[in-house]
Amino acid sequence: MTPVKEITLTIDGRQVTVPAGTTIFDAARMNGIPIPTLCHQQNETPVGVCRVCVVDVGSRVYTAACIREAENNMVVKTNTDPVQASRKTLVELLMSDHPAPCARQQHSGDCELETMAKNFAISTPRFAKRLTPSHQKDESSLSIMVDHSACILCDRCIRGCSEIRNNFVIARQGKGYAAAISFDTDDPMGSSSCVSCGECMVSCPTGALTNKHVVGQELGLAGGTSVEAQELLALPVFKGVSGTFLELNKGAVVKRHFKKGEIICREGDYGSTAFYVLEGKVDIFINSPRAHVDTEGSEQGFLSKLASKLKPRKEHQREEENTQRKYIHIDAPVDLEYDHPVAQLQAGDLFGEMTCMSFYPRSATVRAAEDTVCLEMLRNVLDVLQKNKTFRAKLEQNYRTRALETHLKSVPIFASLTQDFIDRLRDRVELQRFTPGQVICRQGDPADSFYLVRIGFIKVSEHHPGGELVLSYLARGNYFGEIGLLSAEGLRTATCTALDHVEVVKILGEDFREMLERFPDVRASLQAVAQERTDENRARIHNLQNVPVDDFLRQGLMDAQSLLVLDLDRCTRCDQCVKACADAHDGITRLIRDGLRFDNFLVATSCRQCRDPLCMVGCPVGSIRRRNSLEVIIEDWCVGCGLCANNCPYGNINLHEFPAPQGSVGVKATVRKATSCNLCYDHPEPSCVYACPHDAAHRVNPPEFFGEMLSGKKVEPVPFSMAPGMMDRR
């Protein structure tokens, strides 16, 4: 072994001896002489960028102690007045742009820059403040808060991310005063390849990267036991998660024990947590009666007393549809059969992801089938877990082995796929996650795969010279990407954007094509659906192009497909329409004679059957949807959570209590169900229109009705049955 070469130098008048290769910073520290610094940390390669550690070694300029190696006979002065003055100016420069007190200072009082400023007695920096910050706050990550204005570009996070964690997400971008840290290609942190390991926020000296304080972070510990970071890290699924992160987020995950038969969560309840089953088994089921609100009346006289009540599907078959739903999609790795909506989950399963990530109401009731232990977690913990490679792999494995098959079979179009083909797909599908606002595929890009929606809601839209037109919203059970793959051009015809936390199952183009080849009936149905979607879109655009928009669009009327309008020249405010509606719907009106005015027409508050039906976004069980005709209907398995009523921007959906039908599984005497105008689909025309004694109420198709009016041609409202676009109803 060669003896270590030693270096002797003088620091602040003291002769010290250190091994060759030691930096001045370390040589001083080892001899009890502290040198202040912002950018240097013992566990990271020195970069010498903050310059606070400069020392005088007798050269023309000072040198950064953190990166300069000690040399023999070097004379180092770490604490002269000019050196201290320079350090103070550097700190003052940084403080002039610093949002004091920054997030770190506010939460834990340990912002290193602010502490240093205090030590240098800098109260108000004498330099001008930054006028226009190049970057603002980035709150896209669920566990880490980014405030670029507090960033001093010390590069500590960059080194933490790369050298320590080997994640390679953070780097500098831009140059000069506009330089900033960025994630991947300057993506929001939440949609970058960041795995939320937390190393950057641990490394950060200021409030630029801090632990995000999630609403309701401290889970009530009632019935649960707090879990130490050590215990969690010992679980296979937490392998690789940052211990610091878990320490900082103590309380965001608790362990809960459930006795056999105990309810873990109830459908329709609001929540913000997900559950991971550690031990035991749970039953997951839908408790609400699978029945819909129905109004009975005679064809002869609508004035006769009508009654609404809940009717199960068996007794009252609704108008036949293209596809009969056999499964109910819920927020768990399984789908429930319509006729027997019960399934079982076991250790290693995760449920409540949508509730946790996007705060949707619970989609199903979960009850312990035996004594069960679960981890209940908030979304920052779930997010970190889902980005964790080990956990991800396990989730994917669960999906492939257990859920893919039912998922595929729950989509009627794929019902005929054979077992061997599903087995082939098993190893080839990929689960992909998207954050709110992230584009999944873009109009005009080459189409390379087909997607099934597993979690979340997706907006499908097209770009037009005037802006964006929403074509539809997709939820679990829906699929997209087939039009591009089936078309000759092979290009995406629309843009699909994640509305919330979305997870899709990606099926590669080649597998998709093989499926079409092997299963001609799948091809036929897919082609039919694709054609239908394409035609529908074309018709919409045609309508749009024929109408002068401006005002019309602004009122949201263009989005509507069907409006109830009252001609104010004729209307005597007799409220017969409202009464008729109430009569038709068990005494509860779905129509309020008030709303927007357009010229001499009042657009009454009743379902407009929007093109862009916001009410459908978020339904935890997918029970509100649009029929192939026009109306928005609420399906039998509505759990009465009321989200759609909240979502409707026009206040046109109401919740009503109904007596529970006999023989239903429910325990309550009444059940809540959402209702909206159904255009009185089982009557020749809507009751309100029929009832108006003054011929003032009309159901119209807005683009055509207002279109002609806007283009200067004064039109008489056409009778409902003749209204364009309404013909297919008959």
Partner 1 sequence: MLYFPLRLRKEPVRLQFCMCFGAASKGTPVAIPGTSLAPQGPSAHNTDGIFEDLKAIQREYGYLPTDKLQAIADARGMHVREVFTVASFYPHFHLTAPARVDVRVCSDMSCHLRGAGLLKQELQTRLSNQGPDNCSIREISCLGRCDGAPALLISTKNEEQIYDSINGERAADIVVRKLAGEPLPHTRPERIRTEIHSDPYIGTQKYGVLREFVKSRDFTGVVAQLKASGLRGMGGAGFPTGTKWEAVRNCAGDEKYVVCNADESEPGTIKDRFIMQHLPHLLVEGMILAGLVTGAKSGVLYIRHEYEHPAEACQDEIDSCYRENLLGSNILGSGLHFDLKIFISPGGYICGEETALIEAIEGKRSEPRNKPPFPVFQGLWHKPTALNNVETFALATVILARGVDWFKSYGRNGTAGVKFVGISGDVRNPGVFEVPMGISYDELINGLAGGPLPGKTIKAFAPSGPSSGYLPASMLNLPLDWDVMAKPPVNSMVGSGAIVVCSEDACMLDMALNAVKFYRNESCGKCVPCRVGSQKMVDMLTAWTQGKQNSSDLQVLDELSHTMMLTSICGLGQIVPAPIQSVLHHFRDEVDAHVKQGRCPAGVCSVGGRA
Nearer to partner 1 among residue 521 and residue 536 (C-beta): 536
In sequence order, the 6+-apart residues with CB closer than 8 A to the CB of 685 are: 699, 720, 721
What are the C-alpha distances in Å from 475 to residues 351, 361, 479, 498, 537? Answer: 17, 15, 8, 10, 19
Measured distance CA(408)–CA(189) in Å, rounded: 33
167 and 120 in contact (C-beta within 8 Å)?
A: no
Nearest-approach distance from CB 30 to partner 1, in angstroms: 21
Nearer to partner 1 among residue 443 and residue 647 (C-beta): 443
**β partners of residue 263:** 367
Q: Is 76 in the site for partner 1 (CB under 8 A)?
A: no
51 and 25 in contact (C-beta within 8 Å)?
A: no
Part in contact with partner 1 (CB under 8 A); list of ranges 172-180, 394-402, 509-517, 624-632: 172-180
Q: Is 667 in the site for partner 1 (CB under 8 A)?
A: no
Part in contact with partner 1 (CB under 8 A); list of ranges 83-91, 598-606, 647-655, 698-706: 83-91
Q: Is 68 in the site for partner 1 (CB under 8 A)?
A: yes
Q: What residues numbered 372-411 form the site for partner 1, per CB under 8 A?
A: none
Nearest-approach distance from CB 42 to partner 1, in angstroms: 18
Q: What are the start-end ranges of the E strands in 559-628?
A: 563-567, 592-598, 601-605, 624-626
Among 32, 176, 236, 301, binds partner 1 (CB under 8 A): 176
Q: Is 40 in the site for partner 1 (CB under 8 A)?
A: no
Nearer to partner 1 among residue 426 and residue 464 (C-beta): 464
Q: Is 58 in the site for partner 1 (CB under 8 A)?
A: no
DSSP string, 617-649: TT-TT--EEE-SSS-EEE-TT-----HHHHH-T
Among 31, 86, 527, 555, binds partner 1 (CB under 8 A): 86
Question: Hey, CA dihedral for 56, 61, 67, 70, is it positive or negative?
Answer: negative
Nearest-approach distance from CB 428 to partner 1, in angstroms: 21
Q: Is 541 in the site for partner 1 (CB under 8 A)?
A: yes
Q: Is 37 in the site for partner 1 (CB under 8 A)?
A: no
Part in contact with partner 1 (CB under 8 A); list of ranges 352-360, 456-464, 579-587, 685-693: 456-464
Chain centroid to CA 194: 17
Measured distance CA(211)–CA(206) in Å, rounded: 12
Part in contact with partner 1 (CB under 8 A); list of ranges 184-192, 596-604, 613-621, 711-719: 184-192
Q: Is 730 in the site for partner 1 (CB under 8 A)?
A: no
Q: Is 465 in the site for partner 1 (CB under 8 A)?
A: yes
Q: Is 120 in the site for partner 1 (CB under 8 A)?
A: no
705 exposure class (CB count in 10 Å sphere: 0-12, 13-18, 19+): buried
Among 96, 217, 555, 647, binds partner 1 (CB under 8 A): 96
Q: Is 75 in the site for partner 1 (CB under 8 A)?
A: no
Question: β-pairing, 281-285 with 291-296?
Answer: unpaired
**β partners of residue 460:** 472, 496
446 and 490 in contact (C-beta within 8 Å)?
A: yes
Nearest-approach distance from CB 53 to partner 1, in angstroms: 10
Measured distance CA(16)–CA(27) in Å, rounded: 8
Q: What residues numbered 686-715 form the site for partner 1, per CB under 8 A?
A: none
Nearest-approach distance from CB 465 to partner 1, in angstroms: 8
Among 34, 109, 216, 444, binds partner 1 (CB under 8 A): 444
Chain centroid to CA 382: 13
Nearest-approach distance from CB 185 to partner 1, in angstroms: 4
Among 17, 89, 398, 647, binds partner 1 (CB under 8 A): 89
Chain centroid to CA 170: 23
Q: Is 173 in the site for partner 1 (CB under 8 A)?
A: yes
Part in contact with partner 1 (CB under 8 A); list of ranges 81-89, 379-387, 451-459, 512-520: 81-89
The number of beta carbons lying within 10 Å of the beta carbon of residue 260 is 12
Q: Is 97 in the site for partner 1 (CB under 8 A)?
A: yes
Q: Is 493 in the site for partner 1 (CB under 8 A)?
A: yes
Part in contact with partner 1 (CB under 8 A); list of ranges 48-56, 323-331, 386-394, 707-715: 48-56
The 3 state secondary structure assigned to 506-520 is: EEEHHHHHHHHHHCH
Element (H, E) at 467: strand 467-474
Nearer to partner 1 among residue 130 and residue 668 (C-beta): 130
Q: What residues numbered 201-220 form the site for partner 1, per CB under 8 A?
A: none
The 3 state secondary structure assigned to 90-135 is: HHHHHHHCCCCCCHHHHHHCCCHHHHHHHHCCCCCCCCCCCCCCCC
Q: Is 19 in the site for partner 1 (CB under 8 A)?
A: no
Nearer to partner 1 among residue 130 and residue 597 (C-beta): 130
Q: Is 488 in the site for partner 1 (CB under 8 A)?
A: no
378 and 217 in contact (C-beta within 8 Å)?
A: yes
Which of helix, strand or coil describes residue 379? helix
Q: What residues numbered 147-166 form the site for partner 1, per CB under 8 A?
A: 152-153
Among 35, 50, 441, 582, binds partner 1 (CB under 8 A): 50
Nearest-approach distance from CB 171 to partner 1, in angstroms: 4
Q: Is 94 in the site for partner 1 (CB under 8 A)?
A: yes
541 and 472 in contact (C-beta within 8 Å)?
A: no
Number of residues in contact with partner 1, rule: CB under 8 A? 57
Nearer to partner 1 among residue 177 and residue 300 (C-beta): 177
Which of the 8 DSSP states describes residue 491?
B
Sheet holding 502-508, edge to edge: 430-434, 502-508, 449-455, 479-480
- Residue position matching structure tokens 């082939």: 424
Among 19, 82, 684, 693, binds partner 1 (CB under 8 A): 82
Nearer to partner 1 among residue 182 and residue 273 (C-beta): 182
Q: Is 67 in the site for partner 1 (CB under 8 A)?
A: yes
Question: β-pairing, 632-634 with 624-626?
Answer: antiparallel
- Mask for 494-533, x = binds partner 1 (CB under 8 A): ----------------------------------------
Q: Is 121 in the site for partner 1 (CB under 8 A)?
A: no
Nearest-approach distance from CB 192 to partner 1, in angstroms: 9
Alpha-helical (H) ranges within 361-445 are: 379-387, 389-398, 404-410, 419-426
Element (H, E) at 291: strand 291-296
Among 14, 118, 126, 239, binds partner 1 (CB under 8 A): 126
Q: Is 463 in the site for partner 1 (CB under 8 A)?
A: yes
Nearer to partner 1 among residue 494 and residue 565 (C-beta): 494
Peptide bond into 101 cis (omega under 30): yes
Which of the 8 DSSP states describes residue 660?
P
Measured distance CA(708)–CA(723) in Å, rounded: 13
Measured distance CA(548)–CA(470) in Å, rounded: 18
Element (H, E) at 674: strand 670-675
Measured distance CA(395)–CA(392) in Å, rounded: 5
Binding site for partner 1 (CB under 8 A): 47-52, 54, 61-62, 64, 67-68, 82, 85-86, 89-90, 93-94, 96-97, 126-128, 130, 152-153, 168-179, 182-186, 193, 443-444, 462-465, 489, 491, 493, 537-538, 541
